[in-house]
Amino acid sequence: MASVQKPTIPKGTRDFSPIEMLRRDYIFETIKKVFKLYDYKPIQTPSMENLSTLLGKYGEEGDKLLFKVLNSGDAFSNIEPSELENSKALSVKVCEKGLRYDLTVPFARYVVQHKNEILFPFKRYQIQPVWRADRPQKGRYREFYQCDVDVIGSKSLLNEIELLQIVDRVFEELGIPVVIKINNRKILAAIAQFIGYPDKLIDITVAIDKIEKIGYEEVCNNLKANGIDNEAIKKLHPLLNFKGDSNEKLDLVLNILSDNEIGKTGIEELSFIYNKAKEFGIKQDIEIDFSLARGLNYYTGAIFEVKAKNFSIGSICGGGRYDNLTGIFGMPDISGVGISFGADRIYDVLLATNKFDKSSIEGYNILISNMDESCLSYSMAVASKLRDNDLSCQIYPEQTKLRRQFEFADKNSIEYFIIIGEEERKGNKINIKKLSTGEQYEVPFDKIIGFFKEKF
Amino acid sequence: MASVQKPTIPKGTRDFSPIEMLRRDYIFETIKKVFKLYDYKPIQTPSMENLSTLLGKYGEEGDKLLFKVLNSGDAFSNIEPSELENSKALSVKVCEKGLRYDLTVPFARYVVQHKNEILFPFKRYQIQPVWRADRPQKGRYREFYQCDVDVIGSKSLLNEIELLQIVDRVFEELGIPVVIKINNRKILAAIAQFIGYPDKLIDITVAIDKIEKIGYEEVCNNLKANGIDNEAIKKLHPLLNFKGDSNEKLDLVLNILSDNEIGKTGIEELSFIYNKAKEFGIKQDIEIDFSLARGLNYYTGAIFEVKAKNFSIGSICGGGRYDNLTGIFGMPDISGVGISFGADRIYDVLLATNKFDKSSIEGYNILISNMDESCLSYSMAVASKLRDNDLSCQIYPEQTKLRRQFEFADKNSIEYFIIIGEEERKGNKINIKKLSTGEQYEVPFDKIIGFFKEKF
């Protein structure tokens, strides 16, 4: 414990200061409150999963971004020098565990592992950090929280509508105006069939997914690079570029895909979800958007994405229906649907649009002076009285000059400073200074609670 | 994504089911509420720290228990075959990061790294998981939560008393009767001087720390094994075995250590803390215990440990004062004091003593039937009305036989099942069945909120 180190934290990770924590807690509590209103139940899974649970679930790129945890004990005792040549194989051998990459795969693992204890339909929420060895950059971290809510074991489209209601309510409570974009993977599959490349669904959707980021021209280049010919791309053109409201879009795509069974099913689903969501009172804007694809290839039905209207930051929430996620763990044909809220981006939106309200998030703080030994018992009695009535407060721990205690109060944004000296102790009263205005109040001991309950 | 795997989780880790999560949340929320009442502020630190921050801080044994995270990218590209021979050095080379082992060292690192933003005294709490590669066994996990509360930058003993008040309030709110044991490291140092082995303080305290686990005889053997002679051990005997109340103990030790400055300071501190805690209204039992040592060698003043009275499980909370924790990161002479609540053991105590109350922890659930398309809008209107008034509920997502919905309600411990059919829809009313008693109520739509607000 001798050598002095200049402390830092790993790149891409963050410390959260008190004010940041209070704001983050406000976001998590708001989201949790809405999840609970819809009777979703919390679960948590371990931070470390067996690497075999995670590998191969997020594509080749995802595998590279998994953080691997070195086996404990002597991890290298049975390693031959020749194994150093195959870094990938060696890393899997010396690391049996990895850090959670998202909440979806661990949830699928949970459902299969606990299937005998779970009653389906199973509605769960999960708020936990995930880790990705992404290159750190502004707004992208190696540790960040996801807030996921899913129903599994029910094919009813009512679940999709309920999730849209949850999205609507969360962003209403947070005061963030949003556009909820919806689409259906079946329609995308039908489009792939329609242009003559049914087996290129993934390439086409990944390319389409990028239309907002890289533009139409570049998407066409990507499609070409994936072996899709010009004629097919031309067929795609009207589907990507038409304007009009959501119902006009539905009509157009129904015309184009009228002979395609899977396409018609997708259009029916999308139309039902869109119209019922409106009927059941979703207040935020909902928009059908056929260019919405989301990269994740386990989606099979509805797909959602939410964007803030007043602040450009990419999607702040997204999700969709998956018909076979648990299949990878040996439990096929369990359909589920879920969405995930991006707490970090929501934080950025709220901060940038000045939506963190001091009174509701930071609260009002009370500091009690600590003048001398003779007043201490009385100060403690005042503190206990406040706390017994659920009012937070602190006593300045050191007996120092009042000036220094005032400084501390000022710098800590203390709202009320209670000054207790000989006079107050003998008079069985307290002296309260409201620091933001300089107002001063003399309040008898037995009126303290009434005073503050009125203020807060 | 083809091969089917039987899913498991790494040994020593756990999934938390909804009921477990609700109970755990209840514990965390209770602890958090009390921390906030005393105006401690939340912070969080990253799950991964630089390994250099963690190594050497927990002793040789602790270093072995650190989970190391493999460097991303090609971790083994520059490793020579000869390096395989030194597993320890190699593991540090290929793993620059490690998982947080406790919250204390990251807190010290946080304080030093952010010293220019922090106003001292700094009162923080932190509730996060920690990871240890311990051999898993009953009640010992490789991932578990710590709930730490510390004041740093104040030498006032008022902080110790405040922490005892927090302990008192937390266990009062949780309904766990406890004994709070207190001691002072300075007294232990004086005892080490007194028996003639001032430099064996750590060995002596570690040995003493085990007295409850292994008994007096074995502790003596341990002391002998550490090179302490019989005469010294004999001198220790009265100090470890005397009975009497806390004030008698203070008198005895004051007699024995009357010539020892550091011992007298320790006795003064302990006496002040003990008597003020009583004066300021601590309700739970407080006991001075000179065999209380706690293994952590950064403690320099008060030490605390809390045990449940009605259930044998080791300590459920503990802490103490440290005068130089930030010194390891280059910021000497900052005194702090803190305690840590063991959420997992608290959970076990509450469960074993039947203290999880269904009504306060699990709440009452409402399920709304889903009979057919014609009733759906009305069911949704009922659900929205409940949720708009902060009452949680769910609609059964599938339109199936009512019998199946009843089964689901039963198995999910639903308290109230709202049945909405043609008759209810037309009559603008609902039919409520209380499942635990079979009672049935017919309630007009505009009386629904009143009905439930009265029930809950």
pLDDT digits (tens, 9 = 90+) for B40-67: 999 999 999 999 999 998 888 899 999 9
What pLDDT shows up at residue A293?
A: 80
Taking an 8 Å cut-off on Cβ atoms, the answer to whether A7 and B53 are in contact is yes
Nearest to B95 among A70, A96, A281 (CB): A70
Tell which of B60, B69, B369 to mutate to test the A interface (max A CBs under 10 Å). B69
**Do the chains contact at A91 and B70, CB–CB below 8 Å?**
yes
The sheet with strand A97-99 has its strands ordered as A48-50, A97-99, A68-69, B68-69, B97-99, B48-50
The Cα B409–Cα B396 span in angstroms is: 9
DSSP state, residue A199: G
Cα distance from A177 to chain B (closest Cα, Å)? 19
Average pLDDT over residues B17-41: 95
Q: Alpha-carbon distance B300 to B310, whole Å? A: 31
Mean pLDDT within A1-18:
83
Query: What ipTM does this complex have?
Result: 0.91
**Locus of tokens 């010009």:** A230
Query: Which residues have CB under 8 Å from B323's CB, separation 6+?
Result: B300, B301, B333, B335
- Range with the poorest average pLDDT among A178-182, A344-348, B411-415: B411-415
Chain A interface disruption, residue of B48, B296, B324, B408, most A CBs within 10 A: B48
Closest-CA residue of chain B to A367? B39
| Chain B contact present for A283, CB below 8 A | no
- Report the alpha-carbon distance of residue B342 to residue B19 in Å, rounded: 19
Res A235 pLDDT > 90:
no
Averaged over A217-244, what is the pLDDT? 86
CATH code: domain A18-352 is 3.30.930.10
Task: Flag whether pLDDT at A89 surpasses 90.
Answer: yes
Q: Do B330 and A70 lie within an 8 Å CB cutoff?
A: no
pLDDT for A6: 76
Per residue in A135-173, pLDDT (tens digit) is 988 878 999 999 999 999 999 999 999 999 999 999 999
Interface probe with B: pick from A394, A399, A412, A416, most Cβ of B within 10 Å: A394
B156–A96 CB contact, under 8 Å:
no
| Residue A37 · residue A125 · CB < 8 Å | no
Establish, for the pair of chains A and B, how many residue pairs have beta carbons separated by less than 8 Å: 281
Output the pLDDT for position B200.
Answer: 86
Is A437 within 8 Å of chain B by CB? Answer: no
| Average pLDDT for chain A | 91
Q: Which of residues 143-162 of A touch B (CB under 8 A)?
A: 143, 151, 154-156, 158-159, 162
At residue A61 the predicted structure's pLDDT band, cuts being 50, 70 and 90, is confident
8 Å CB contact of A43 and B15:
yes
- Does residue B404 carry a pLDDT above 50? yes
All residues at 6 or more sequence positions from B358 whose CB lies less than 8 Å from its CB, including other chains: none
List of chain B residues whose C-beta atoms are within 8 Å of the C-beta of residue A72: 64-65, 67, 133
pLDDT band at A450 (very low <50, low <70, confident <90, very high): very high
Mean pLDDT of A274-296: 88
Contact A415, A436 (CB under 8 A): yes
Nearest C-alpha of chain A: how many angstroms from B257? Answer: 27
- What span, in angstroms and rounded, lies between the C-alpha atoms of A395 and A379? 8
Query: For residues B182 and B85, what is the distance between their CA atoms, to the nearest angstrom?
Result: 47
Phi and psi torsions of B195, nearest 5°: -85, 0
Q: What value does the mean pLDDT take over residues A222-234?
A: 91
pLDDT at B3: 54
Mean predicted confidence (pLDDT) in A348-371? 86
Among B387, B400, B405, B456, which would you mutate to test the A interface (most chain A Cβ atoms within 10 Å of its Cβ)? B387
Which tens digit of pLDDT belongs to each residue from B86-128?
989 999 999 999 999 999 999 999 999 999 999 999 999 999 9
Q: Round to whole Å and give the CA distance between A300 and A183.
A: 11
Mean pLDDT, rounded, of chain B = 91
Average pLDDT of span A418-430: 95
Interface of B with A in 311-340 (CB under 8 A): 328-330
Rounded CA separation A429/A18 (Å): 32
Rg (Cα) of chain B, in Å, rounded?
28
At A292, the pLDDT band (50, 70, 90 cuts) reads confident
DSSP B140-193: B-SEEEEEEEEEES---THHHHHHHHHHHHHHHHHT--EEEEEEEHHHHHHHHH
Q: Does A214 touch chain B (CB under 8 A)?
A: no
Specify the pLDDT at position B422: 94
Phi, psi of A227 (to 5 degrees): 85, 20
B302-327 per-position pLDDT tens digit: 999 999 998 988 899 999 999 998 99
Shortest alpha-carbon distance between residue B217 and chain A (Å): 33
Instruction: Among A5, A18, A154, select the one facing B398 at the smallest CB separation.
Output: A154
Nearest-Cα distance to chain A for B243, in Å, is 31
Would you mind telling me the total number of residues written for chain B in this entry? 456
Residue A106 burial (CB count, 10 A): 27
pLDDT for the residue A137: 85
CA distances from A342 to A35, A219, B42 (A): 15, 26, 21
The pLDDT, as a whole number, for residue A300 is 92
CA distances (Å), origin A55, targets A68, A258, B47, B97? 11, 40, 21, 21
Q: Given a cut of 80, is residue B208 above it in pLDDT?
A: no
- pLDDT-derived band at A296, boundaries 50, 70, 90: low
Question: CB-based contact (8 Å) between A74 and chain B?
Answer: yes
Return the number of other C-beta atoms located less than 10 Å from residue B159's C-beta.
26
Q: What is the pLDDT of residue A1?
A: 44
By the CB < 8 Å criterion, does A17 face chain B?
Answer: yes
Domain A364-455 sits in which CATH superfamily?
A: Anticodon-binding domain (3.40.50.800)
Longest dimension (CA), chain B: 93
Chain A: give the shortest CA distance to residue B279, in Å: 8
Domain ranges of chain A: 18-352, 364-455
CB contact under 8 A, A43 and B1: no
In 3D, which of B129, B131, B143, B7 has the Cα closest to residue A57? B7
- Contacts with A10 (C-beta within 8 Å, 6 or more apart), sequence order: A142, B46, B48, B49, B50, B96, B97
- Strand A285-288 and strand A178-184: the pairing is parallel
Residue type, A56: G
Task: Looking at A118-195, list the stretches that DSSP marks H as alpha helix, in order from N- to C-terminal side.
Answer: 158-174, 185-194
Predicted model pTM = 0.92
Chain B residues within an 8 Å CB radius of A57: 1
Task: Confirm or reject contact between A23 and chain B (CB < 8 A).
Answer: no
Higher pLDDT, B28 or A453: B28
- Name the one residue in this structure whose structure tokens are 């386990």: A298
DSSP label at residue A319: E
Q: Which of B26, B58, B70 is most worth mutating to test chain A (most A CB atoms within 10 A of its CB)?
A: B70
Query: With bands split at pLDDT 50, 70 and 90, how would you rate the model's confidence at B1?
Result: very low
- Give me the pLDDT at residue B4, please: 61
Could you say which residues from 346 to 365 on chain A have a Cβ atom under 8 Å away from some Cβ of chain B?
Answer: 365
